[in-house]
Amino acid sequence: MMDGMKQRMMNQLLDSGMTENLTEVLASAENELLTTAKRMEEAHGTETLGELPTVEERQAALKRLIEALVTDSVDDVWMEQIAPALLDEPEKARSYLAMDESEWADQIERWAEFYRENGAEGDDRALAEHHVQQTFGVDLETVEERVVNWSSGEEAERIFAGNFRAVRRSMERVTEVAEE
């Protein structure tokens, strides 16, 4: 019953045009800030911002996030939008997303046992570090912070505020260069 109610809420939001207007305003404001920050970087010979999303791309991403918040599917948005940029083979990370602490400890132990059975030596975390580096292309700490300790609220906030934070980092870097 709740899923049907959530879907009706989402449809009302989308049909009202409110979501369209809100996401267009946010995406346009972000784009103006990002474009200006990019010009500042170029003028000062720095580069912290990568390729900038178009207003339309960002608007679509914001709409998708709003839908995910209403339908409690932020994990799907994370898998679609964030995981591919963060991890090699992101689909393999889904089973570790928001994993319970004891389950994660068991997983580390299983990886370590597997590697020891195949002749490797080291403590459990060192062997797990090797495994996640080979599988995901990032260190164990990153997997723990961004995957295992994943929180829908934190990720939604990170996705919403990400471009504003990128502009701040860009401005901080430009300021450092200007002050040298």
- Residue 94 counted as domain residue: no
| CA atoms of 97 and 75, how far apart (whole Å) | 8
pLDDT of res. 3: 66
Host domain of residue 77: 2-87+152-179
Say if residue 132 is in the same domain as residue 144.
Answer: yes
Instruction: Kindly report the pTM of this predicted structure.
Output: 0.77
Say if residue 12 is in the same domain as residue 69.
Answer: yes
Say if residue 56 is in the same domain as residue 11.
Answer: yes
The total domain count for the chain is 2
Say if residue 47 is in the same domain as residue 108.
Answer: no
| CA atoms of 83 and 112, how far apart (whole Å) | 24
The answer to whether 96 and 143 are in contact (CB under 8 A) is yes
Say if residue 74 is in the same domain as residue 162.
Answer: yes
Q: What is the full per-residue pLDDT of the chain (180 aa) written as tens digits?
A: 456 776 777 677 666 778 889 999 999 999 999 999 999 999 999 999 989 999 999 999 999 998 898 888 999 999 998 999 999 999 999 999 999 999 999 999 999 999 999 999 999 999 999 999 999 999 999 999 999 999 999 999 999 999 999 999 999 999 999 888
pLDDT of res. 1: 45
| CA atoms of 116 and 130, how far apart (whole Å) | 12
Say if residue 53 is in the same domain as residue 30.
Answer: yes
- Helices marked H in 72-123: 74-77, 83-86, 101-117
- Residue 92 counted as domain residue: no
Which three-class secondary structure state does DSSP give residue 42? helix
Say if residue 14 is in the same domain as residue 83.
Answer: yes
